[in-house]
Amino acid sequence: MTPGSPTDERRSIRGATLRRAGLLVAGAVFVLWAVATLTFFAIRLIPGDPAQAILGGPGSQASQEALDQVRRDYGLDQPLIAQYFAMLGRLLTGDLGVSYALKLPVADLLGAQLGGTLLLAALALMLAWILALGLAIWSTGRGRVASALGEGVEITAAALPHFWLAAVLIAVFSVGLGWLPPVATGTLAGFVLPVVTLAVPLAGFLAQVMRESLLDAMQQPFVVSARARGESALGVRARHTIRHASLPAISLSGWALGWLLSGAVVVETIFAMPGLGRTLLQAVTLRDIPVVTGVVLLVALVYVLMTVLTDLAARIADPRLRQEAGR
Amino acid sequence: MSDLELQQATAVSAASHAPARRRGRMPRIGTVLAAAFVVFLLAATVAPELVATQDPNEIAPGDAFQSPSLAHWFGTDESGRDVYSRVVAGTATSLLIGVTATAIGLALGLGLGVLASFGGRIADFSVNRLVEVLFAFPGLLLALLVIVVYGPGPVTATVAVGLSTAPGYARIIRGQLVAIRSSQYVEAARVLGRSPARIISRHVLPNALLPIFVLATLGIGQAIVWAAALSYLGLGAQPPAAEWGAMLAAGRTYLATAWWMTVFPGLMIVGTTIATTVLGRALTRRGRGER
Amino acid sequence: MRAAPVTTSPTPRRIGIAAVAVVSTIALTACQAPAPEASGEPVSGGTLAYASGDAEPTCLDPHVGGNYPQALLAGQFLESLVSRDDSGEIIPWLAESWTAADDGLSWEFTLRDDVAFTDGTPLDAEAVKANVEHLKDPATQSSTGYLALGKVDRVEVVDEQVARFVMSSPDSALLESLTQPWVAIESPAGLARGMDENCQAPIGTGPFIVDEWVKQDHVSLVRNDDYTSPPADAAHDGPAYLEAIDWRFVPDSASRYAALQAGQVDVIDNPQPDTISAAKSNDSLAWLDAPRPGAANRIELNSGQAPFDDERVREAFIRAVEVDEGIDALFFGTAERSFSPLSSVEALAYSDEALFEPDLDRANALLDEAGWTERDADGYRVKDGARLTLRFPVSTNQSIPAEQSLFEQVQATAKAAGFDVVIELLDLSSWYGALAEHEYEIVSAPYTKVGPDVLRILYHSDSITPAPSGYFANLAQLDDPEVDSLLTDAASTSDADTRADLYERAQQLILEGYYLLPLYDQQNSFLLSTSVQGARAMPTVSTPTFYDAWLAD
């Protein structure tokens, strides 16, 4: 076969794809390992005896014998490094351990919580995107008043603390109008207020970033030439600039996920929804190390998957990135 | 194309597609207002006792929950303290949290972002993984851990918020830099044989500056809001400190009966964000040769 | 002892022995509406939705650990051998009669013969024996129940329905101990399943059965249709009126109140004072006020180290601090100032208001006398280069926002006399950590226990000795042989008058030594929709019971 034949090209593309996939998997494993390691050692910094956490938590009155017994049972009398490798070993077999407080397998506990939190985060991210795009497109390049108005709305939205926004939404839509329940009970209606609470500040943030890129994009040569070809302003905005503008916002989506999960700690508490955020807060309070580790690992796993997706999305939005092989 | 031609082309395109941007000599009203607000903030930071009307920590339980009036411009809180004076007294702490946390996050983010986009594939790969590791660690958990280990307070809150925002900044800065790196004018400069250092300093950083600036101005408000979330969880600034986020969190309990307890500190956060953003814009416009 | 994480309420403490008649001051009020008990005929059916702000238990079996959130839930599906009525009399429950030996070293309880656990196991003396053994087994990790049965050596089966409690020493408060939810009787077959399984759904004899526990969401309780064993003061016989209870965990107090207002739930606990005040003017809401027994909410002064090892400095602090106006404003008239170490529901509570009269001049004079004569630039007193600093760790899980605000007022008023009060808001684990390390000069820690014997736990010098975790109950670090002997004698005497006298003298000494600043009773309130009829708080530990409750249209 001569170089440059179609088959050869396809093979090299496949090779690049495979190599890229390999890198992605290796990167993912590295991230999970690093997160597990960081968490393991970071948690050891917290003052307090894990054996006390196992035997009744804060203010426990467990006897010395009981504490010794628990230390032996949980391997807490081993050197730290031995405990670390024991944990890695368990993780390799998919064993997240047993909750100190609830004495239930962490995997079961978190499995029940993951779905709700992911749904909440995904819906909030979607809504935030829709709101942000709408606002950015509506208010960009429309004159000073629209621009200032849009910007004011965005900044205000981004500066709303979740707990305050939630309280206002509950006061208006649950107590005042009686449209939506203040406590999420697993129904669709119960999801509305938590999703809006999470989405609005995020939308303000995303829209800010998008507006800047949108303004920049509209000054790019390709827009000039498109306008010169006689395309309408809206057409240009829709076809060329949004793509360009969504780039930083897409790369922000990973950030948004972590942001949403942090927000979920507050939102799940206020709307009394079961979920990872609330679990995490309670686990930190109770020093329930296996649950904290489990939540962090789970979030890391979701994050890694999310990165792959945004990576693909960015490649679709920006052809230039497609040529960068093996990044 | 020479550097000069490049700049002219950019300026022309900017001018022709931003018809709403006035090119007069006078500063805009918004800029003036923003500057005035920032001056007020600075005064409140440097000499709160001159700006405030009362001692921010003086209690008067008999005067609790008074709505805004001439005596108490922003009303009183649950202990009868003057909300206006507390807002003024809280300016220094809040700004310190906002600015320092943003500076920490931005400095780390900028370093990582530049390293990733210009340090070659290995650096890029490593930084990306590092950022992912930090990303995968929920920001609030990081903050909770820092606070649990080092105790609550404004300093720990600042460091915690700063650290947890760094990966976000790194990621967006890298994205921005990569896009600029492969843009036409950088390619043109490369074709013209400019050195990488010169390309970064002359073309890339100036162009990346605006979005970063916007991020920073937004970040100040964001940092205060995150510190407020820590206060809601009871782990932010310690009493009787009148930090805006802590005031928001404390006032939330009385939202239905005393709206002024949250609305005014909230307005300060929003106002600070808007003012810094507007001023930031004005400065960038000046940098671009506009007015 | 377990404390409750992530809660907005004062956390429960061990409850134990009550020896004398305690007049419960539980009141159910609804403004502009008649007392809810008095309207209409009970109707069967329906699901009651309850929103709890107390922490979600980590185990539903109250034998394990033993805290108030567990008691709140367990009261719906577990029952005790005896109960108390509103006048403080011990009344039959699972035991229909009992007798004590003359030497006080054994008690015989005759059980009802028509009661079965909801798994079908009959209630018999063997079951009682198994429960006491379960509570005393270290593997159960019982704290509250274990302490309540401290003087019970073992249980012997006399015959199928008669159980004999053999005591290691006489305990005149055994009956009161046995009223508590933490020593409720569970199915031996249920206990035999092991802790992990039993924690998920303990099996009792109560009017409801644990159907499902969805973590961080709710516990479903369904009616026990074969129920036969209400306590003697219940309003009716047979199964409960309600078909089910949906017990939800709603940690945020504003959300809880909103859910009640929106009709999403029928009952909430731990309402904020301002919402109680709002509810009082709302025709469709009723307020059930049930202060907890035991100690009053108070600020303890750590007399174990400087500067409070000097009584003059302690008195100076108490004279400097003003809280009356603050309590009125922050609690909207729902909490009354206390001047006693004990809850107002305790008949033996002794008050001395004169000791707590604010007097800034006297405070300043006392501090001068104690050598704190200098003041630094910030107005704080200094002695030998050290500032008069009072570290005040506050648990955000145990002190509601109104109480935290009150502490800020304490901080502000104490400053006038030159005290630098440093409030540290901490999560529960860090808070216990600070106490264990003695890193506090003042602290507020609620403690619930039926009867004045709570004084022995809180102020006997034995309670300064820490558990292995560092926990100790005598946070004032009061170490006075005279107080010790008064409290010890009071706990072992069987003569009511002597006992009352001993407790009064002990309280006098405690108050006059300026070891504590009493604030108010441990607040324990419930807001109910007026459609909920017949609900009441148990006269034992003030947990609500819904056996007699029904939903009116």
**CA C76 to CA C27: how far, in whole Å?**
21
**CA C536 to CA A65: how far, in whole Å?**
42
**CA C99 to CA C107: how far, in whole Å?**
6
Domain boundary residue, one of A37, A64, A92: A92
**CA C388 to CA C376: how far, in whole Å?**
10
Q: How many inter-chain contacts (A to B, CB under 8 Å) are there? A: 202
Query: Do β-strands C47-52 and C267-269 pair in parallel, antiparallel, or remain unpaired?
Result: parallel
Looking at the structure, do residues A22 and A71 belong to the same domain, yes or no? yes
Nearest to C248 by CA among C118, C69, C90: C69
Domain boundary residue, one of A92, A122, A140: A92
Q: Specify the pLDDT at position A249.
A: 63
Q: What is the CATH number of domain C18-291+524-551?
A: 3.40.190.10
Looking at the structure, do residues A49 and A133 belong to the same domain, yes or no? no
Higher-pLDDT residue of B271, C192: C192
**Is the predicted pLDDT of residue B278 greater than 50, yes or no?**
yes
Q: Looking at residues A108-116, what average pLDDT do you find?
A: 86
Looking at the structure, do residues A145 and A267 belong to the same domain, yes or no? yes
Helix-helix angle B154-181:B83-118, to 10 degrees: 40
Beta-carbon contacts of A9 under 8 Å, excluding residues fewer than 6 positions away, are: none
**CA C345 to CA A178: how far, in whole Å?**
39
Quick: pLDDT tens for C370-391.
999 999 998 999 999 899 999 9
Question: Which pLDDT band, with edges at 50, 70 and 90, does C29 fall under?
Answer: very low
Looking at the structure, do residues A290 and A214 belong to the same domain, yes or no? yes
Which H or E run includes A158?
A: helix A144-158
Nearest to C369 by CA among C305, C417, C322: C417
Looking at the structure, do residues A200 and A152 belong to the same domain, yes or no? yes
**Is the predicted pLDDT of residue A58 greater than 70, yes or no?**
no
Q: Looking at chain C, how many residues does it have? A: 553
Q: Looking at residues C356-372, what average pLDDT do you find?
A: 93
- Mean residue pLDDT of chain A comes to 78
Q: Specify the pLDDT at position C49.
A: 94
| CATH value at residue A189 | 1.10.3720.10
Minimal Cα–Cα distance from A163 to chain B, Å? 7
Calculate what percentage of chain B has a pLDDT beyond 90: 6
Quick: pLDDT tens for B120-151.
788 887 887 787 777 777 777 777 778 777 87
Calculate what percentage of chain B has a pLDDT beyond 70: 86
Nearest to C346 by CA among C75, C17, C78: C17
Minimal Cα–Cα distance from A144 to chain B, Å? 6
Higher-pLDDT residue of C305, A171: C305
- Is B145 close to A205, i.e. CB distance below 8 A? no
Q: Is A87 inside any structural domain?
A: yes
A162: chain B residues, CB-CB within 8 Å: 229
Q: Is A1 inside any structural domain?
A: no
Q: Which amino acid is at C212?
A: E
Nearest to A71 by CA among A48, A89, A55: A55
Our CA dihedral for A144, A145, A151, A157, rounded to 10 degrees, sits at 180
The least confident of A10-19, A205-214, B179-188, C156-165 is: A10-19
Which H or E run includes B201?
A: none
**Structural domain for A84, as ranges:** 6-92
Helix-helix angle A188-218:A242-270, to 10 degrees: 150
- Is A286 close to C199, i.e. CB distance below 8 A? no
> Which residues sit opposite C50 in a β-bridge?
C247, C267
Q: Looking at residues B225-231, what average pLDDT do you find?
A: 79
Question: Which pLDDT band, with edges at 50, 70 and 90, does A24 fall under?
Answer: confident
Q: Which of B138, B167, B179 sits opposite A261 (nearest CB)?
A: B138
Map tokens 């506090």 to a residue: C440
**Is the predicted pLDDT of residue C27 greater than 90, yes or no?**
no
Beta-carbon contacts of A21 under 8 Å, excluding residues fewer than 6 positions away, are: none
Higher-pLDDT residue of A74, C356: C356
**Is the predicted pLDDT of residue C551 greater than 70, yes or no?**
yes
Contact C184, C77 (CB under 8 A): no
C457: chain A residues, CB-CB within 8 Å: none
**Is the predicted pLDDT of residue B291 greater than 50, yes or no?**
no
Q: Specify the pLDDT at position A327.
A: 38
Q: Is A99 inside any structural domain?
A: no
What fold does the segment set C297-520 form as a domain?
Dipeptide-binding Protein; domain 3 (3.10.105)
Looking at the structure, do residues A55 and A116 belong to the same domain, yes or no? no
Q: Which of B129, B211, B266 sits opposite A31 (nearest CB)?
A: B129
Q: Which of A25-34, A65-74, A170-179, C519-528 has the highest mean pLDDT?
A: C519-528
The least confident of A94-108, B202-216, C182-196, C204-218 is: B202-216
Q: Which of B240, B255, B256 sits opposite C408 (nearest CB)?
A: B240
C138: chain A residues, CB-CB within 8 Å: 63, 65-66
Beta-carbon contacts of C268 under 8 Å, excluding residues fewer than 6 positions away, are: C50, C51, C52, C53, C250, C256, C257, C259, C260, C526, C527
Quick: pLDDT tens for C180-236.
899 999 999 999 999 889 999 999 999 999 999 988 889 999 999 999 999 999 999
Q: Looking at residues C296-311, what average pLDDT do you find?
A: 93
Looking at the structure, do residues A52 and A122 belong to the same domain, yes or no? no
Q: Which of A220-229, B18-27, C367-376 has the highest mean pLDDT?
A: C367-376
Q: Specify the pLDDT at position C153.
A: 93
Q: Specify the pLDDT at position A13.
A: 60
**Is the predicted pLDDT of residue C53 greater than 80, yes or no?**
yes
Q: Specify the pLDDT at position B15.
A: 35
Cβ–Cβ contact A185 with B under 8 A: no
Count of domains for chain B: 1
- Is C258 close to A61, i.e. CB distance below 8 A? no
Q: Specify the pLDDT at position A319.
A: 59
Which H or E run includes C550?
A: strand C550-551
For chain C, what are the domain ranges?
A: 18-291+524-551, 297-520
Q: Is B240 inside any structural domain?
A: yes
Please name the residue of chain B whose CA is at the shortest distance from the CA of residue C430.
Answer: B148
CA B151 to each of CA A113, C233, C306, C426: distance values in angstroms, whole numbers, following the listed order: 29, 50, 23, 8
Question: Which pLDDT band, with edges at 50, 70 and 90, does B213 fall under?
Answer: confident
Q: Is B250 inside any structural domain?
A: yes
Name the DSSP letter for residue C289.
E
CA C221 to each of CA C71, C115, C224, C311: distance values in angstroms, whole numbers, following the listed order: 15, 20, 9, 53
Contact C104, C171 (CB under 8 A): yes
The least confident of B26-35, B252-261, C198-207 is: B26-35
Question: Which pLDDT band, with edges at 50, 70 and 90, does B86 fall under?
Answer: very high
What per-residue string of b and e applies to C227-246 under the rule 16 or more CB within 10 Å gives b? bebbbebbeeeebbbbbbbb
Cβ–Cβ contact A284 with C under 8 A: yes
Looking at the structure, do residues A166 and A78 belong to the same domain, yes or no? no
Q: Specify the pLDDT at position A166.
A: 87
CA C85 to each of CA A204, C89, C205, C233: distance values in angstroms, whole numbers, following the listed order: 59, 6, 20, 6
Map tokens 């001993």 to a residue: C502
- Mean residue pLDDT of chain C comes to 86
Quick: pLDDT tens for C393-409.
998 878 888 899 999 99
Q: Specify the pLDDT at position B108.
A: 86
Name the DSSP letter for residue C110.
E
Nearest to C539 by CA among C454, C451, C453: C451
- Is B136 close to A299, i.e. CB distance below 8 A? yes
Q: Specify the pLDDT at position C391.
A: 95
**CA C284 to CA C307: how far, in whole Å?**
52
B82: chain C residues, CB-CB within 8 Å: none
Higher-pLDDT residue of A257, C85: C85
Map tokens 């990576």 to a residue: A311
Q: Looking at residues C52-79, what average pLDDT do you find?
A: 90
Q: Is B43 inside any structural domain?
A: yes
Q: Specify the pLDDT at position A244.
A: 66
Q: Is B66 inside any structural domain?
A: no
**CA A200 to CA A318: how far, in whole Å?**
27
Q: Looking at residues B189-212, what average pLDDT do you find?
A: 74
Q: Is B262 inside any structural domain?
A: yes
Domain boundary residue, one of A35, A69, A92: A92
Q: Which of B9, B164, B175 sits opposite A251 (nearest CB)?
A: B175
Token digits of residue B76: 């009183």
**Is the predicted pLDDT of residue B231 greater than 90, yes or no?**
no
Helix-helix angle C311-320:C360-369, to 10 degrees: 160
**Structural domain for B97, as ranges:** 28-50+72-288
Q: Is B14 inside any structural domain?
A: no
Neighbors of chain B by Cβ distance (3+ pairs < 8 Å): A, C
**Is the predicted pLDDT of residue A147 greater than 50, yes or no?**
yes
Quick: pLDDT tens for C518-548.
999 888 899 999 999 999 999 888 899 999 9
Q: Is B19 inside any structural domain?
A: no
Helix-helix angle A242-270:B205-232, to 10 degrees: 10
Q: Is B173 inside any structural domain?
A: yes
Q: DSSP labels for A16-60?
A: HHHHHHHHHHHHHHHHHHHHHHHHHHHHHHSSS-HHHHHTTSTT-
- Is A219 close to B139, i.e. CB distance below 8 A? no
Which of A23, A169, A262, A305 is the best mutation test for B, with the most CBs of B within 10 A? A262
Q: Which amino acid is at A266?
A: V
Quick: pLDDT tens for A125-134.
889 988 988 8
Q: Specify the pLDDT at position C72.
A: 92
Task: Report the sign of the C-alpha dihedral through residues B242, B246, B248, B252, in that order.
Answer: negative
Q: Specify the pLDDT at position B32.
A: 87
Helix-helix angle A276-286:A106-139, to 10 degrees: 130
Q: Specify the pLDDT at position B18.
A: 39
Interface of A with C in 38-57 (CB under 8 A): 47-49, 52-53, 55-57
Token digits of residue A189: 């209606």
Q: Looking at residues C287-313, what average pLDDT do you find?
A: 91
**Is the predicted pLDDT of residue A213 greater than 80, yes or no?**
no
Looking at the structure, do residues A111 and A79 belong to the same domain, yes or no? no
The least confident of A306-310, B36-40, C137-141 is: A306-310
Looking at the structure, do residues A226 and A114 belong to the same domain, yes or no? yes
- Is C248 close to A185, i.e. CB distance below 8 A? yes
Calculate what percentage of chain A has a pLDDT beyond 90: 3
Q: What angle do CA C226, C227, C230 make, to 5 degrees?
A: 165
Is C386 strand, coil or helix? strand
Count of domains for chain A: 2
